[in-house]
Structure 1
Amino acid sequence: MTGHPELHRRTVADLVAMLRRGELTSQYLQAHYLDRAAAENRSLHVFFALRDRTDPIAPVGPLAGLPVAVKDTAATACLPTTFGSLAYAGYRPGHDAAITRAWAMSGAVCLGKTATSEFGCLCYVEPDPRLAETPRNPYDHEAGVGGSSGGSAAAVAAELVPLAHGTDSGGSVRIPAALNGVVGYKPSGPDGALSWRAMSVDGILARNVADVRVAAAALGHLPESPLPTRWCVGVCSDDALASVDPRIRVAVRTAADALERAGHKLVETGCQARDDVATSYFTAWAAHVARLPVPAGRENDLHEVTTLLRRLGAAVTPAELSDELARLGAARDRSASGQVDVELGPVCTRPRLAIGELRRPDPVAALAAQAEFAPFTIPANVEGRPSVAVPVWVPDLPESPAAVLLTARRGYDQSLLALAAEVERAVGGFRRPECPSPVTTARRIL
Structure 2
Amino acid sequence: MAEPHELTALEQWQALQRGELSPSELTEHYLARIEARDATLGAFVTVTASRSRARARQVERSVPRTAPLWGLPFADKDLQLRAGVPARFGSRLMQDFIPEESDDLVIALDEAGGVSLGKTNTPEFGLPSYTEGLAGPPARNPWDLRLGAGGSSGGAAVAVSARLLPFAPGSDGGGSVRIPAAVCGLVGVKPSRGRVPAASGIDKLGGLSVAGPLARTVADAALLLDAMITPRGNHPDHHFTLRAPGDDGPLLAHAMHGEGRFQLGVMTTSAWDNDYDIDLAPEAVAALETAREELDVLGHGIDDIALDPDPSYVPAFRTIWQAGAASIPAEGEAQEQLLDPLTRWLMHRGRALTARELAEALAALSTFERSFIRQLSRFDAVLTPALALTPRPVGWYDAEDGERNFAQQVQYTPFTSMVNVSGLPAIVLPVAQTADGLPMGVQLIGRPGGEAPLFALGAQLERRFRWQDRVPPEPGSAVNDAEW
Same fold (TM over 0.5): yes
Question: For 2:68, what is the secondary structure of its paired residue?
Answer: coil
Distance, in Å, in 2 between the alignment partners of 1:250 and 1:67 is 35
AA of the residue aligned to 2:192:
S
Moved more, 105-114 or 91-100: 91-100
Shift of 1:101: 1.1
Tell me the residue number matched to 2:260: 229
8 Å contact from structure 1 (residues 254, 427) kept in 2: no
8 Å contact from structure 1 (residues 157, 181) kept in 2: yes
8 Å contact from structure 1 (residues 135, 151) kept in 2: yes
Question: For 2:213, what is the secondary structure of its paired residue?
Answer: strand
Distance, in Å, in 2 between the alignment partners of 1:256 and 1:405 is 11
Tell me the residue number matched to 2:346: 309
Q: 1:206 aligns with which of 211, 215, 226?
A: 215
8 Å contact from structure 2 (residues 342, 400) kept in 1: no
Distance, in Å, in 2 between the alignment partners of 1:410 and 1:391 is 23
Distance, in Å, in 2 between the alignment partners of 1:183 and 1:96 is 27
Distance, in Å, in 2 between the alignment partners of 1:398 and 1:275 is 38
Shift of 1:88: 0.7
8 Å contact from structure 2 (residues 46, 119) kept in 1: yes
AA of the residue aligned to 1:62:
P
Q: Which has the higher contact order (CA 8 A, sep 6+)?
A: 1
Distance 1:299 1:196, change over 3 A: same
Distance, in Å, in 1 between the alignment partners of 2:451 and 2:476 is 36
8 Å contact from structure 1 (residues 121, 148) kept in 2: yes
Tell me the residue number matched to 2:239: none
Question: For 2:420, what is the secondary structure of its paired residue?
Answer: helix
Distance, in Å, in 2 between the alignment partners of 1:408 and 1:135 is 30
Distance, in Å, in 2 between the alignment partners of 1:29 and 1:236 is 42
Tell me the residue number matched to 2:460: 422
Distance 1:256 1:169, change over 3 A: same
Distance 1:272 1:286, change over 3 A: farther
AA of the residue aligned to 1:147:
G
Distance, in Å, in 2 between the alignment partners of 1:80 and 1:230 is 47
Instruction: Spell out the pairing of 1:159-238 with structure 2 (5 A cutoff).
Output: 159-190=163-194, 195-196=204-205, 198-220=207-229, 223=244, 224-225=246-247, 229-237=260-268
Instruction: Spell out the pairing of 1:73-112 with structure 2 (5 A cutoff).
Output: 73-112=79-118
8 Å contact from structure 1 (residues 225, 415) kept in 2: no
Distance, in Å, in 1 between the alignment partners of 2:474 and 2:191 is 31
Distance, in Å, in 2 between the alignment partners of 1:238 and 1:99 is 34
Tell me the residue number matched to 2:318: 282
Distance, in Å, in 2 between the alignment partners of 1:272 and 1:37 is 47
Distance, in Å, in 2 between the alignment partners of 1:190 and 1:282 is 23
Moved more, 367-376 or 317-326: 317-326
Shift of 1:334: 2.6
8 Å contact from structure 2 (residues 387, 412) kept in 1: yes
C-alpha offsets along residues 372-426 of structure 1, whole Å, 9 cap, x if unaligned? 11111011100000011110124x4362211111111110012211112222222
Q: 2:447 aligns with which of 392, 406, 409?
A: 409
Structure 1: which 5+ runs fail to align? 439-446
C-alpha RMSD of the superposition: 2.5
AA of the residue aligned to 1:102:
A
Question: For 2:58, what is the secondary structure of its paired residue?
Answer: coil
Shift of 1:150: 0.7
Structure 2: which 5+ runs fail to align? 196-200, 233-243, 249-253, 478-484
Shift of 1:306: 1.2
Distance, in Å, in 1 between the alignment partners of 2:461 and 2:307 is 19
Instruction: Say how many residue pairs are matched.
Output: 432
Moved more, 32-41 or 266-275: 266-275
Distance 1:214 1:177, change over 3 A: same
Distance, in Å, in 1 between the alignment partners of 2:466 and 2:335 is 45
8 Å contact from structure 1 (residues 385, 411) kept in 2: yes
Distance 1:425 1:11, change over 3 A: same
8 Å contact from structure 1 (residues 194, 325) kept in 2: no
8 Å contact from structure 2 (residues 385, 442) kept in 1: yes
C-alpha offsets along residues 132-183 of structure 1, whole Å, 9 cap, x if unaligned? 1122111101111111111100100000000111111101111111110011
Shift of 1:233: 1.3
Q: Does 1:157 align with 2:166?
A: no
Q: 1:299 aligns with which of 308, 326, 336?
A: 336
Distance, in Å, in 2 between the alignment partners of 1:285 and 1:108 is 32
Distance 1:276 1:294, change over 3 A: same
| TM-score scaled by length of structure 1 | 0.90
Instruction: Spell out the pairing of 1:21-170 with structure 2 (5 A cutoff).
Output: 21-53=18-50, 54=53, 55=55, 56-58=57-59, 59-60=63-64, 61-128=67-134, 131-170=135-174
8 Å contact from structure 1 (residues 169, 200) kept in 2: yes
Distance, in Å, in 2 between the alignment partners of 1:272 and 1:238 is 9
Distance, in Å, in 2 between the alignment partners of 1:251 and 1:272 is 24
Distance 1:23 1:329, change over 3 A: same
AA of the residue aligned to 1:28:
E
Question: For 1:289, what is the secondary structure of its paired residue?
Answer: coil
Tell me the residue number matched to 1:367: 406
Distance, in Å, in 2 between the alignment partners of 1:211 and 1:272 is 36
Shift of 1:107: 1.1
Q: 1:351 aligns with which of 390, 402, 414?
A: 390
AA of the residue aligned to 2:90:
G
AA of the residue aligned to 2:225:
A
Shift of 1:428: 5.1
| TM-score scaled by length of structure 2 | 0.84
Moved more, 356-365 or 192-201: 192-201
Distance 1:237 1:136, change over 3 A: closer
Shift of 1:287: 1.2
Tell me the residue number matched to 1:244: 280
Question: For 1:420, what is the secondary structure of its paired residue?
Answer: helix
8 Å contact from structure 2 (residues 169, 212) kept in 1: yes
8 Å contact from structure 2 (residues 105, 228) kept in 1: no
Distance, in Å, in 2 between the alignment partners of 1:425 and 1:307 is 46
Question: For 2:131, what is the secondary structure of its paired residue?
Answer: coil
C-alpha offsets along residues 35-70 of structure 1, whole Å, 9 cap, x if unaligned? 101111111111101012212222532111210011
Distance, in Å, in 2 between the alignment partners of 1:273 and 1:232 is 23
8 Å contact from structure 2 (residues 129, 150) kept in 1: yes
Distance, in Å, in 2 between the alignment partners of 1:237 and 1:151 is 28
Tell me the residue number matched to 1:442: none
Distance 1:230 1:273, change over 3 A: farther
